[in-house]
């Protein structure tokens, strides 16, 4: 697969006041991630080692899902309680984006998680070895 290098910048957070949280970030070429529950942090930072094929697959997913065109803010009228927040900072191939949301997602007109966002989350989980 082509371009199996990591992005220049990659940071992704998904979580809220309840339920699981995931924080993934690329630091000095190392892909670090942390799972937590009940809105907190576990304090246990793990490292994933995706190879060139995994990075190429991630890049392909990012391009296919149109992440570059995602609006910078996604906020739902349902963002008052039990909020799920997410944040993405990505820089690769000469473009960069910072996108965030609160109970709202690209490709969804309501608080439902869109297919597009679920597929992006699957791509992130694949990178850290949490999805087959």
Task: Kindly report the backbone phi and psi dihedral angles of residue 88, in degrees, each rounded to the nearest multiple of 5, phi listed first.
Answer: -135, 130
Residue 125 has pLDDT above 80, yes or no: yes
Domains detected in the chain: 9-127 (3.30.1560.10)
Q: Which two tokens stand for residue 117?
A: 């966002």
Q: Where are the beta strands (DSSP E) in the chain?
A: 9-16, 21-27, 30-36, 46-48, 73-75, 84-92, 95-102
Residue 38 has pLDDT above 70, yes or no: no
* Segment 70-85, tens digit of pLDDT: 999 998 776 566 788 8
Percentage of residues in the chain having pLDDT higher than 90: 63
* Segment 48-61, tens digit of pLDDT: 999 999 999 999 99
Determine the Cα–Cα distance for residues 72 and 84; give it in Å rounded to an integer: 16
């Amino acid at each position: 697969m082509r371009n199996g290098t990591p992005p220049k910048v990659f940071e992704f957070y998904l979580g809220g006041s309840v339920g699981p949280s995931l924080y993934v970030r690329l630091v000095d070429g190392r892909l670090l991630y942390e799972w937590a529950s009940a809105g907190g942090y576990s304090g246990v930072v793990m490292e994933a080692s995706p190879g060139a094929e995994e990075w190429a697959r991630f890049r392909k997913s990012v391009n296919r899902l149109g992440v570059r065109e995602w609006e910078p803010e996604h906020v739902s009228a349902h963002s008052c309680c039990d909020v799920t927040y997410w944040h993405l900072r990505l820089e690769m191939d000469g473009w960069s984006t910072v996108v965030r949301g609160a109970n709202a997602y690209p490709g969804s007109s309501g608080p439902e998680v869109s297919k597009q966002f679920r597929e992006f989350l699957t791509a992130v989980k694949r990178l850290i070895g949490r999805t087959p």
